[in-house]
């Protein structure tokens, strides 16, 4: 490895260490079952993390479902009929090539051996003694039913979209939608990843927000381009355009169901990586479910009487991955004019876990300041902090991404104004208490 590459790697590791440590210290994200030493590939979201992630999901739902009259939502069960996964191709195709080291017994993805740590079990060499590559199915299994003998083997869903295909006919008919239209869902997915890594980036349990948009076969290109542009605009509003790129898939890397695909990638500290995939799935899913279930999932156009199986354009974004991207993108160490450094998490106000912190300058002012916090709490998430000097309290809010701090001071008693401090510019302005709620709502709820 060249010196430049080694130093890039070190800088990426330092940035990730800083992020992981902030996330644990401030209660965004930490290892699941931490008191038992953790469990690889599983993560828990603490009080700030759950707000951040919920805000991201709400924003996606707003843009993809509520602002459109051609998309409806569902919330399906995690466990589907096992035939679903035979029809979808996951039982046969959803595999990663994997090798085992005969010496240290560790398992690696055969296509990611460059990242494998050295073998610790061989004498005189740190090289692994690999087996041939074998395909390893990534679906997690469970069994349903109390009796061991009669238990039915099932899978935890590997992607949320299969339930959308299973429910296609019922949802279309009940919501009286016509082609083109979409069905959206946010929910957990599970994959037995061989090497979970890069914090939450590759986990074994994660959330996806997926849209399956059903179209006439003649409109595939148009809708693929339109959804790709739509989703890119969403991410650009959150991240800025320089942190993103679109990477079309080469033919040989397309998933088994895809005719065309592009990834929206984000520049993580560890390099460009996919946060969202836009796929042209053709009629793969509906045709296969028709075949496996025996239920006809084709439609007949009311006007032309044409009978056809709709094609599908899919947008699939990882909620945890995008949350991680928001944290990585936002976290900066900023040098200030007085020579000090501050840690600031520049999150878009729409996703910031806490929108405003109310800070009484003195504990004597608690009663009035608490009343302000109470009024604000009815419309946004508020923190209240009366401990420590005001500079330290600002810093605590900066590092969790709170866009505004409201300080109630002795002057507020007479002039009925408060000081609002902006997280990014650190500028302060006096605002009348009467208009405070409206002033802050304007700033934290401005549509994307
Ligand atoms: N239904 C299509 C589908 O599942 P995918 O590219 O396998 O496509 C879509 O997954 C998105 O789900 C990815 O872009 C990524 O953000 C997220 N994702 C996939 N595997 C993940 C994992 N192991 N950990 C976290 N997020 C994951």
Q: Whose CA is nearest to atom 19 of ligand 1?
A: 318
What is the C-alpha to C-alpha distance for residues 444 and 442, in angstroms, rounded to an integer?
Answer: 6
Distance from Cα 359 to the centre of ligand 1, integer Å: 41
> Is residue 114 over pLDDT 90?
no
β-strand partners of 357:
383, 405
Cα→Cα distances 55→58, 341, 381, 448, Å: 5, 29, 11, 12
pLDDT at position 150 over 80: no
Closest CA to 323 of 241, 229, 239: 239
Query: Is 266 a residue whose pLDDT tops 80?
Result: yes
- Closest atom of ligand 1 to 279 CA is 2
For residue 318, give the ligand 1 atom closest to its CA: 16
What are the start-end ranges of the H helices in 218-332? 220-239, 284-293, 319-330
**What pLDDT score does 4 carry?**
86
Instruction: Work out whether the CA dihedral 84, 135, 188, 160 comes out positive or negative.
Output: negative
Residue nearest to atom 1 of ligand 1 (CA): 159
Q: Does the pLDDT at position 142 exceed 80?
A: yes
| pLDDT, position 257 | 86
Atom number, ligand 1, closest to the C-alpha of residue 263: 14
Determine the average pLDDT of the residues in 58-80: 98
In the chain, what are the domains? 3-78+160-327 (3.30.930.10), 354-444 (3.40.50.800)
436 CA distance to ligand 1 middle (Å) = 41
pTM of the model: 0.95
For atom 16 of ligand 1, the residue with the nearest CA is: 318
Residues of the chain above pLDDT 90, percent: 91
User: What atom in ligand 1 is closest to the CA of residue 203?
Assistant: 24
155, 161, 163, 206, best to mutate for ligand 1 pocket (most atoms within 8 Å of CB): 206
- For the segment 218-229, the average pLDDT, to the nearest whole number, is 98
Ligand 1 centre from 447 Cα, in Å?
27
Return d(Cα 388, Cα 156) in angstroms, integer. Answer: 48
Cα 318 to ligand 1 centroid, rounded to whole Å: 6
**Ligand 1 mutation pick, 56, 274, 276, 312, max ligand atoms within 8 A of CB:** 274
Write out pLDDT tens, residues 401-437: 999 999 999 999 999 999 999 999 999 999 999 999 9
Indicate whether 225 pLDDT > 90. Answer: yes
Strands 271-282 and 260-268, by their bridges, are antiparallel
pLDDT, average across residues 102-109 = 92
Mean pLDDT for the stretch of residues 74-85 = 98
With b for 16 or more beta-carbon neighbours within 10 A and e for fewer, the 87-101 pattern comes to bbebbeebebebbbb
Average pLDDT over residues 126-130: 94
Report residues whose beta carbon is within 6 angstroms of any ligand 1 atom: 159, 161, 191, 193, 202-203, 206, 208, 210, 274-277, 314, 316-318, 320-321
Which residue has the least CA distance to atom 18 on ligand 1? 318
Residues 313-361: tens digit of each pLDDT:
999 999 999 999 999 999 999 999 999 999 999 999 999 999 999 999 9
Q: How confident is the model at residue 5 (pLDDT cuts 50, 70, 90)?
A: confident
Residue nearest to atom 7 of ligand 1 (CA): 159
From 89, 188, 318, mutation site for ligand 1 pocket: most ligand atoms within 8 A of C-beta: 318
For residue 101, the CA-to-ligand 1 centroid distance in Å is: 27
Mutate to test the pocket of ligand 1, among 42, 255, 316, 323 (most ligand atoms within 8 A of CB): 316
- Ligand 1 atom closest to the Cα of residue 202 is 24
Q: Does residue 156 register a pLDDT over 90?
A: yes
Closest ligand 1 atom to 276 CA: 14
- Taking the centre of ligand 1 as the mean of its atom positions, its distance from the CA of residue 14, in whole angstroms, is 26
Does the pLDDT value for residue 214 go beyond 90?
yes
- What is the rounded average pLDDT for all residues in the chain? 96
Residues in the chain, how many? 448
Q: Can you tell me which atom of ligand 1 is nearest the CA of 196?
A: 23
The two three-digit tokens of residue 14, written as one number:
């330092």
| Nearest CA, atom 17, ligand 1 | 318
DSSP state of 142: E
């Amino acid at each position: 490895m060249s010196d430049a590459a080694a130093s890039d790697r070190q800088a990426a590791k330092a940035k990730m260490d800083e992020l992981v440590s902030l996330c644990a210290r401030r209660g965004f994200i930490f290892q699941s079952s931490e008191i038992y030493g953790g469990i690889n590939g599983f993560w828990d979201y603490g009080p700030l993390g759950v707000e951040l992630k919920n805000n991201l999901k709400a924003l996606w739902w707003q843009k993809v479902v509520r602002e459109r009259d051609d998309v409806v939502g569902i919330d399906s069960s995690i466990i589907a009929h096992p035939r679903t996964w035979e029809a979808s191709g996951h039982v046969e195709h959803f595999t990663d090539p994997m090798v085992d080291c005969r010496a240290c017994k560790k398992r690696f993805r055969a296509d990611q051996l460059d990242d494998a740590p050295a073998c610790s079990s061989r004498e005189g060499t740190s090289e692994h003694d690999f087996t041939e590559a074998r395909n390893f199915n990534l679906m997690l299994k469970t069994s349903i039913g109390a009796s061991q003998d009669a238990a039915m083997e099932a899978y935890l869903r590997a992607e949320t979209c299969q339930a959308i295909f299973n429910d296609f006919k019922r949802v279309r008919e009940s919501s009286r939608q016509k082609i083109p239209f979409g069905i959206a869902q946010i929910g957990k997915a599970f994959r037995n990843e061989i090497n979970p890594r890069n914090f939450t980036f590759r986990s074994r349990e994660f959330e996806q927000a997926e849209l399956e948009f059903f179209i006439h076969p003649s409109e595939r290109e148009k809708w693929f381009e339109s959804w790709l542009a739509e989703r890119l605009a969403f991410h650009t509003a959150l991240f800025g355009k320089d942190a993103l790129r679109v990477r079309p898939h080469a033919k040989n890397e397309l998933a088994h169901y895809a005719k065309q695909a592009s990834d929206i990638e984000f520049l993580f500290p560890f390099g460009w990586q996919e946060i969202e995939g836009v796929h042209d799935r053709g009629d793969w899913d509906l045709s296969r479910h028709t075949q496996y279930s025996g239920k006809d999932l084709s439609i007949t156009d009311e006007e032309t009487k044409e009978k056809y199986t709709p094609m599908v354009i899919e947008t699939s974004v990882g909620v945890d991955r995008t949350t991680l991207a928001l944290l990585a993108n936002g976290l900066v160490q900023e040098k200030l004019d007085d020579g000090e450094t501050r840690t600031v998490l520049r999150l878009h106000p729409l996703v910031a876990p806490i929108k405003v912190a109310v800070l009484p300058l003195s504990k004597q002012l608690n009663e009035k300041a608490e009343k302000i916090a109470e009024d604000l709490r009815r419309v946004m998430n508020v923190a209240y902090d009366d401990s420590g000097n005001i500079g330290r309290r600002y810093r605590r809010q900066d590092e969790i991404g709170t866009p505004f701090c409201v300080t109630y001071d002795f002057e507020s008693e007479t002039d009925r104004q408060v000081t609002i401090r902006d997280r990014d510019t650190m500028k302060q302005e006096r605002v009348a208490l009467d208009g405070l709620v409206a002033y802050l709502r304007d700033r934290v709820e401005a549509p994307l």
